[in-house]
Amino acid sequence: MKKVLTLSAILLAGSASLAFAQEAAAPSRDGGYGLGRAAAPEEVAAWDIDIRPDGMGLPAGSGDVWTGEELWIAQCSACHGDFGEAVGRWPVLAGGFGTLDGEDPVKTIGSYWPYLSTVWDYVHRAMPYGAAQSLSDDDVYAIVAYLMYVNNLVDDDFTLSSDNFLDVRLENEENFFMDDRIEVEFPIFTQEPCMENCAESIEITMRAAVLDVTPDEGTDEAVVEEAAVVEEAAVEEVVEEAVVEEVVEAALDPALIEAGESTFRQCRSCHQVGDGARNAAGPALNGIYNAQAGTREGFRYSPALVEAGEGGTVWTDEALTAFLLDPRGYISGNRMAFRGVRDEADIPGLIAYLRSEGGE
Amino acid sequence: MVDDPKFTPTRRRFLQGAAVAGGAAATGQLAHAQAADPLITDLGEQPWSQYLGDGVDAAPYGMPSRHEAHVVRRNVPWLTADSVSSVNFTPLHEMDGIITPNGLCFERHHGGVADVAPEDFRLMINGLVDSEMVFTLEDIMRFPRENRTYFLECAANSGMEWRGSQLNGCQFTHGMIHNVMYTGVPLRLLLEEAGVKTEGTWLLAEGADASGMSRSIPMEKAMDDCLVAFAMNGERLRPEQGYPVRLVVPGWEGNMWVKWLRRLEVGDAPWHHREETSKYTDLLEHGEARRFTWEMDAKSVITNPSPQAPITHGPGPTVLTGVAWSGRGTIPRVDVTIDGGINWHQARMSGPSFEKSMHRFYFEFDWDGSPMLLQSRAHDSTGYVQPTKDALREIRGENSIYHNNGIQTWAVDESGAAENVEIG
């Protein structure tokens, strides 16, 4: 009993002064702790990829608008559109001039970004989406040159290089300024607020329900019951699917499917497959196996892919293998932004996965 | 499904029971139930009291009760092009206290979740240092550690509400936040190990994920309270929160808390990378934009009642609760109103009050069953008072996207249902 009392006394003391919980900082040691090791120059070179507006980090190289356009159509346009106008909700990269002070600002490289170095750095570190850091330095120069071209910054005979890079200025650079909330907002937002009789009357001026953009969820009984009905229907579907799957799985090796699921990680930033798959940057792949090329409903294919399908290309094992190894070589002019599966041995698994998830 | 005793009937029964209790309370005196409750009198209705349940190890890593399966992060599919570069939201209306359970912490990825094995982890420090270095996770675990509780709020939290009330639920309007106790090594100790040169005034933090997330941080902040964290709420970081190591940048916008940390470069100027130019800059009405708006202003929201958590018990004693936080200090005070701001009341703060951490507040009152307009207003330890949305718009316009810390209004009707509204 005595011990318990002591403990509660400590707790009381603690609640009176909560500062005890944010106690002394972890100590420094003179000369350091001697942990870690020196980084080798080639290790720093491999990871130190960042570029700064003053040119720090920019590698030697060059690329022209026409080369950039070719790379762009093959690797970027599926999401960003042929001219940077964007597909769906992917980022718009061109145009938008004169919109920043309007009701619907379009913040593009041309209209908003302050520095060209940001474009070079980002394309190089993160693009193409799902195959980051796969572009050569010259490829990046060319793509940045194309982005300058579609933003009306240069003519089509322009070549961007490490020699002329620092001559480029983007027009919105001067319209950024350092955070000034402390000076501008604090004097207003530190006044003691009214507590009583602060208004005569209050009216509702806007309701979220009018817009009705909130995702549904099962929070009340009616919705829960509805969900139960849906789940029952889903159960029936699963039963039917199970029968189908048995047939498929009789021919497909589960280990192969699993390997294919892992390979599919390279594809899933653009393609969906399986229950509820829908067209995204690339077409949904349900039923792709043994289907005519370029025929998934509702997807806007390149003319090249539609032509191939009309010309008789069917996604057999052989066709899928050839296409996945070298997409642009097999159907020239198609828009799939993917350079190909590196190891041919991964392709049977990928096909097995597509068949198992997406049906025959 | 209906035959499955493990499914929803329990919840339905609970709601019916709640309605009866509410009716009783409204009369102002204790009422007997109309008939004896079979959940008390009929053993057959209480199988858990008669038959044995699961033994130990039924779930080697424990999960919430199956009756809490609706308590999950949710996303808003139309917000983003693709789930790999997207966000979901913490279910604030289902939580209490100040700590966010690890599995409910909202996610924001720019190139999906990186899967880094602890033995494959490397952290490089390069640039303007005496010696460029590489640390393994084992090295990092040998430095002195600190335990600190901090909120992480995405700068775009409430960003969909700049032009007016849009999403019905505090999960969606305010759920890009979590509050976690981190264990980690002060960033200062790692920088001291490499030896920052005197001209080293900026730090670039870079992630190992497929977006190569990168942000510039002023050296003063890096040497102050940043942590290189490997644990959250007592266990290793979750993969979606940066496993094995993330940066903790207390009080500053969540985008800077680089996950799957792989490199820190010391420099003499900021890098102006994509996430601090094209994104996370605040476009104002006249077309100019604020940059480096790192600190998160004081903010609060009432989590219950709210659109996803209506009042189901009818008139009588009612618990109003919510959370408040500030990137500049603690929250000594929160005011609440139930009449749209004509009269305000000081809420009761409860739970530990840490710097740059979430605070919990309560306001208990007897609801008379009439419509209400609920708001909360946070005061932080610097004297800053959470502004109205209109006051913010007056200074910033409606195109900012980021840093919307305006006062939120919920309209509650006679039935107890709540809706996201704006008032004037």
Per-residue model confidence as pLDDT tens digits over B237-289: 999 999 999 999 999 999 999 999 999 999 999 999 999 999 999 999 999 99
Confidence of residue A263 (pLDDT cuts 50, 70, 90): confident
Q: What are phi and psi of A148, to 5 degrees?
A: -65, -40
Which has the closest alpha carbon to B129: B189, B80, B196, B72? Answer: B196
What is the predicted pLDDT for the residue at A71? 96
Of A47, A105, A219, which has the smallest distance from its Cβ to B262's Cβ? A47
Q: Considering chain A, what is the average pLDDT of its residues?
A: 83
The answer to the question of residue A312 being in a domain is yes
| H or E element, residue B21 | helix B9-26
Q: How many structural domains does chain A have? A: 3
Q: Is B189 on the interface with A (CB under 8 A)?
A: yes
Position B242, amino acid: G
CATH of B299-421, one of 2.60.40.650, 1.50.10.10, 3.90.1150.10, 2.40.50.100: 2.60.40.650
The answer to the question of residue A105 being in a domain is yes
Which has the closest alpha carbon to A354: A268, A269, A281? Answer: A268
Mean pLDDT of A100-115: 96
Q: Is B371 on the interface with A (CB under 8 A)?
A: no
Together in a domain, A152 and A99: yes
Q: Which of A28, A29, A52, A169 to mutate to test the interface with B (most CBs of B within 10 A)?
A: A52
Q: Rounded to whole angstroms, how far apart are CA atoms A269 and A343? A: 20
The answer to the question of residue A225 being in a domain is yes
Residue A202 burial (CB < 10 Å; 0-12/13-18/19+)? middle
ipTM of the complex: 0.91
Report the residue of chain B nearest A90, measured CA to CA.
Answer: B81
Residue B68 burial (CB < 10 Å; 0-12/13-18/19+)? exposed
Cβ pair B103, B69 in contact under 8 A: no
Supply A200's token pair: 């005569």
Supply B331's token pair: 């929250």
Q: What ranges in B244-399 are assigned the alpha helix state H?
A: 389-396
Which has the closest alpha carbon to B244: B126, B140, B103, B357? Answer: B140
Position A183, amino acid: E
Q: Which of B68, B223, B273 to mutate to test the interface with A (most CBs of A within 10 A)?
A: B273
CA distance A237 to chain B (A): 14
The answer to the question of residue A78 being in a domain is yes
The answer to the question of residue A37 being in a domain is no
Together in a domain, A301 and A228: no
Q: Name residues 263-322 of chain B within 8 A of A (Cβ).
A: 263, 265, 267, 269, 271-274, 277-278, 281, 283, 285-295, 297, 307-310
CA distance B214 to chain A (A): 9
What is the predicted pLDDT for the residue at B12? 42
Q: Which residues in chain B are closer than 8 Å to A88, comparing Cβ atoms?
A: 81
Supply A121's token pair: 């750095």
Fold of B74-290: Sulfite Oxidase; Chain A, domain 2 (3.90.420)
DSSP secondary structure code for residue B257 in this structure: S
Cα dist from A113 to A110, A167, B274, B275, whole Å: 7, 16, 8, 11
Q: Is B352 on the interface with A (CB under 8 A)?
A: yes
Is the preceding peptide bond at B244 cis, omega within 30 degrees of 0?
A: yes
- The reply to whether residue B8 touches residue A225, judged by beta carbons under 8 angstroms, is yes
Q: Tell which of A123, A142, A175 closes a domain.
A: A175
What is the predicted pLDDT for the residue at A217? 63
Q: Name residues 6-45 of chain B within 8 A of A (Cβ).
A: 7-8, 11-12, 15
Positions in chain B short of pLDDT 70: 1-29, 33
CA distance A178 to chain B (A): 5
* Model confidence pLDDT, tens digit, residues B154-196: 999 999 999 999 999 999 999 999 999 999 999 999 999 999 9
Q: Rounded to whole angstroms, how far apart are CA atoms A109 and A106? A: 10
Owning domain of residue A233: 218-251
What is the predicted pLDDT for the residue at B269? 98
Together in a domain, A237 and A259: no
Which has the closest alpha carbon to B251: B300, B204, B297? Answer: B297
Cβ pair B113, B168 in contact under 8 A: no
Position B301, amino acid: V
Domain with CATH 2.60.40.650 in chain B: 299-421
CA distance B97 to chain A (A): 16
Question: C-alpha dihedral over B135, B137, B139, B145, to 10 degrees?
Answer: 120
Report the residue of chain A nearest B184, measured CA to CA.
Answer: A26
Together in a domain, A265 and A235: no
The answer to the question of residue A263 being in a domain is yes
Report the residue of chain A nearest B126, measured CA to CA.
Answer: A44
What is the predicted pLDDT for the residue at A218? 44
CA distance A166 to chain B (A): 15
Q: Rounded to whole angstroms, how far apart are CA atoms B256 and B217? A: 8
What is the predicted pLDDT for the residue at B294? 98
What is the predicted pLDDT for the residue at A12? 42
CA distance B156 to chain A (A): 16
For chain B, the first-to-last Cα distance in angstroms comes to: 48
Of B70, B206, B289, which has the smallest distance from its Cβ to A218's Cβ? B70
| H or E element, residue B423 | strand B418-423
Together in a domain, A272 and A341: yes
Q: 10 Å Cβ neighbour count for A160?
A: 27
pTM for this prediction? 0.81
What region does A273 belong to: left with phi over 0, alpha with psi -120 to 50, or beta? beta
Q: Is B420 on the interface with A (CB under 8 A)?
A: yes
What is the predicted pLDDT for the residue at B285? 92
Of A32, A117, A192, which has the smallest distance from its Cβ to B193's Cβ? A32
> Which position has the higher pLDDT, B88 or A308?
B88
- The reply to whether residue A56 touches residue B387, judged by beta carbons under 8 angstroms, is no
What is the predicted pLDDT for the residue at B29? 63
The answer to the question of residue A41 being in a domain is no
- The reply to whether residue B134 touches residue A121, judged by beta carbons under 8 angstroms, is no
Residue A256 burial (CB < 10 Å; 0-12/13-18/19+)? middle
Together in a domain, A325 and A262: yes
Confidence of residue A246 (pLDDT cuts 50, 70, 90): very low
Q: What share of chain A is helix, strand, coil (3-state, %, to 5)?
A: 45, 5, 50
| 3 state DSSP class of B112 | coil
Q: What ranges in chain A are assigned the alpha helix state H?
A: 2-16, 41-47, 65-75, 77-80, 116-126, 137-150, 181-184, 186-189, 208-211, 221-251, 254-263, 303-310, 317-325, 327-330, 347-358
The answer to the question of residue A52 being in a domain is yes
| Residue A226 pLDDT greater than 60, yes or no | no
Report the residue of chain B nearest A27, measured CA to CA.
Answer: B144
Long-range contacts of A179-182 (CB under 8 A, 24+ apart): A179/B290, A179/B291, A179/B292, A179/B293, A179/B294, A179/B295, A180/B290, A181/B290, A181/B293, A181/B295, A181/B297
Of B124, B272, B310, which has the smallest distance from its Cβ to A39's Cβ? B124
Q: Which of A101, A111, A268, A279 to mutate to test the interface with B (most CBs of B within 10 A)?
A: A101
Domain with CATH 3.90.420.10 in chain B: 74-290
Q: For residue B204, what are the β-bridge partners?
A: B216, B265
